[in-house]
Structure 1
Amino acid sequence: MTSDPEEQVRLQGFGEMTLRTAVATLMQLAPGERADAAIFRVRDDVRLAQSEIAELASHWGIEPAPNVRSPGLVPDQHWPDVVRGMVREAPLPSLMVAFLVGMLVARR
């Protein structure tokens, strides 16, 4: 099994890239497109098996994209969840500035 994430491969329809990038790109495709796509090693032009790709993805912690059929079927995110996600990803100085601006607005 090929487990070198920096090995050069060719993802059908996308071109040459590293193995990790190819697996991540493949996992972001819809399930139907994922089944049709193929990864080939550049050095010997051998196609990687779907089971090998799935094993590499799970080993590297790459999750497949969810199978969403329609935007109407996606549950609405509640504002507290949206704000909580923004706060988790924001750097500390930005949070401090936002807090101070909030305090100024609240005092008026």
Structure 2
Amino acid sequence: MGKFEIKTRKNGEFQFNLKASNGQVILSSEGYSSKSSCLNGVESVRKNSQDENKFDKKTSSNGKYYFNLKATNGQIIGSSEMYESASGCANGIASVKKNAPDATVVELE
């Protein structure tokens, strides 16, 4: 089962990482100014991760693949790691879809 890990960055912003059951980070958020905003981001990932159209697949300038998960308003709520192949990227999307809805939330120190 996956989990959302919430941590405080050195600049005081809050960030979450969605981790798969194997501990690998499959989605990372941008920084939020408050913990409540970060938790809203987690809920947005849970909701939007079930809609294939919310995943925006990209190729970086160095030829690696990644995706962004977007909210209904088009704002990016999470970004993936870089993948060597398009199939790896597709597996990452499948992992977010599988893990996000029931992932527990853990607050790190």
Higher relative contact order (CA 8 A, sep 6+): 2
- The structure that has the greater radius of gyration is 1
Give your verdict on TM over 0.5: no
- TM bucket (normalised to shorter chain) is under 0.3
Which structure has the highest helix share of the two? 1
Which structure has the highest strand share of the two? 2
TM-score, structure 2 length as denominator? Answer: 0.26
